[in-house]
Structure 1
């Protein structure tokens, strides 16, 4: 074996060890005429510097040889992005929250199972605890925390969105969740329909006159306008964070009752269509089951506000029926529909 071939073989072996990610000590071939063989130590751990929004943060990343992913220190990077981290020693998990953000997640040491809005997501590598520091794969910050992540050589750059994208929605409150574990408002539907607006102490809630009120001051049936994050979960109903909620004054609508549910019966009586809705009353006075007569004045629309025909209604269709409080005393009660919204 000539000297040139030996040198190439040694180079290839060193490169293979570095790429494989496993640490190793390699003894270089003994050169001719040498009296002693000198080992060359190859370290497979390569440090990755980390920049968050253009600034260096404490700690460095490393390459996970098995998953072929760069692992990043969780606490220093997430806190630099504005998240608060709570550590649970019992199950060795970390909970991340951010004031004013709908993002919530839980990561647990050794489990490639990341909680995203109460749903599990696999990222290809589990969190690892190295000498007291918890590391997660770099794609955790893009897939879960919605940050921008890029790698250039031995540098990893992570940045949050420069501008929070917001959207405004108008609708009627169909459910209010207000307990120790959670605060949220469901609008424009029940069950899997509509939108769930998550609120916290940073959400600004105002009444019809613009005065600040609290979540407990709201009630089902109220019409509101909400400014919320453009980011929504893929769950049903979709969930998002509400920055502002304003109660809209509409005396005519506050005198209406509403029931959301499925059409269990539909027929023509005296030339006008009559539908039976069975589901959930959306105000305190609204029954869970009601029979509504559709008159020529009844407005029928879809959830986007597009005008429909009464003939578009069918058995088992999910609708919200708005109607006058003037009902018969029969069971179920019968009234005249003011508006039908096809879900």
Structure 2
């Protein structure tokens, strides 16, 4: 099958006995228990005369397969639906079937963030080594929240321009869009999707 213009699917890279692909498109998913099953993905392959072709491969998902979202959170196979983009690492050893089958080592699914909570508060502490930003009561851990900054977290200044975690400072008022779940720790921890610095 031919690639369409504007397609973001990328070609594979081979590292010894492992194949890696970024932005592969899930064409089909099957699971009987929400944890094991398979994904059929399509990815780009360079052809002749600058043509780009699409190839299919069936990734067999076992109990040892790492299944996570773009924030590093463990997910179930049910979370990955047709049309989801994934980054995958799988065995270079494949069956001769159509499509070929391979055992998946790791699948990172780029899931749409459909549910989130917004917290507006002041930064009380920043832990750059562990990628945490703390908000809330500076004198009481039980009145604080700890937000994990991942590679997918967007950080914006007062004008909406992208900045880095190093640009954030204690005392700044921020609006944080974050996951609706949180750990039972003190302070509770959750993943930050977007951090916006507000006018003080």
> TM-score, with normalisation over the residues of structure 2?
0.50
Higher RCO (Cα < 8 Å, 6 or more apart): 2
Structure 1 distance, partners of 2:35, 2:114, is 18
Match runs of 1:39-58 below 5 Å: 50-51=31-32, 56-57=37-38
For residues 162-192 of structure 1, give each alpha carbon's deviation from its aligned partner in whole angstroms, at most 9, with x where no partner exists: 864201110000000101xx10100012423
Partner of 1:211: 161
* Correspondence 1:159 to 2:78: yes
On the 8 A contact 1:227/1:242 being kept in 2, the answer is yes
Tell me by how many angstroms 1:146 deviates. 5.9
1:50: how far off?
4.3
> Which blocks of at least 5 consecutive residues in structure 2 are unaligned?
1-29, 40-60, 82-112
Secondary structure at the aligned position of 1:173 is classed as strand
Superposed displacement of residue 230, structure 1: 0.1
Aligned 1:310-321 pairs, distance under 5 A: none
Counterpart in 1 of 2:101? none
How much does 1:55 deviate? 8.9
Query: What is the Cα-based RMSD across aligned positions, in Å?
Result: 3.0
Residue number in structure 2 paired with 1:247: 197
Could you tell me which of 122, 126, 135 is aligned with 1:187?
135
Q: Map of 1:21-60 to 2, 5 A cutoff?
A: 50-51=31-32, 56-57=37-38
1:197 aligns with 2:147: yes
Structure with bigger gyration radius: 1
Distance 2:188 2:38 in 1: 34
Query: How many pairs are equivalent?
Result: 117
2: CA distance, partners of 1:54 / 1:215: 35
Unaligned runs of at least 5 residues, structure 1: 1-48, 59-71, 84-97, 104-144, 148-157, 251-343
Structure 2 distance, partners of 1:75, 1:55, is 9
Q: Does 2:49 match 1:99?
A: no
CA distance in 1 between counterparts of 2:119 and 2:33 reads: 33
Matched residue, 1:21: none
CA distance in 2, matches of 1:236, 1:161: 32
Contact 1:164 1:229 in 2 (8 A): no
